[in-house]
Amino acid sequence: MEFLVGLFFGIIVGIIGTYLIVKRDNLSKTVRGYELKIRDLEDEYQQKLKDSKDRSEVVYPKISATEDYQEPIEAKVEGLGKSYNISEIRNNNPSAYKSWTTQDDLRLVELYKEGKSIEELASELGRQTGGIRSRLRKLEQIE
């Protein structure tokens, strides 16, 4: 009788072991399949980036250090329909896209430390709120 119980127990352990091995192999095949799909998608994405001719273009205006650039710059991101004109932006924000001077930086930090909001700083300095935030980050005044 003990022999039959031992034999039965051995058969059960063997079946469970075989089941676990087969299940592990199937999971490994599934994971490998997903990894291959991911690699294929990455390759396809990289190829499309290389082949794409409609990517946004970077505009580099030629500006001397002594003159202010007044000619309108237009940038267009294909597919997004966004465009902007610096001359139009400067109607509301006269200093938008101009280089920051040391005096501008000092005034910005002084006003910020006085407790002025980003909107108030933008209005007072003639810049856009995004430019104010960006400059405050660069000057390590905000994160």
Count of positions (residues) in the chain: 143
- Whole-number percent of the chain with pLDDT over 90: 1
- The answer to whether 38 touches 52, Cβ cutoff 8 Å, is no
Q: Which residues, at least 6 apart from 122, have a Cβ–Cβ distance to it below 8 Å?
A: 93, 128, 129, 131, 132
Question: What are the pLDDT digits (tens) for 106-130?
Answer: 898 899 999 989 899 988 888 888 8
Q: What is the DSSP letter of 79?
A: T
Q: Is the pLDDT of residue 55 over 50?
A: yes
Mean pLDDT of the residues in the chain? 76
Residue extents of the structural domains in the chain: 1-53, 74-138
Confidence class of residue 54 from pLDDT cuts 50, 70 and 90?
low
Confidence class of residue 2 from pLDDT cuts 50, 70 and 90?
confident
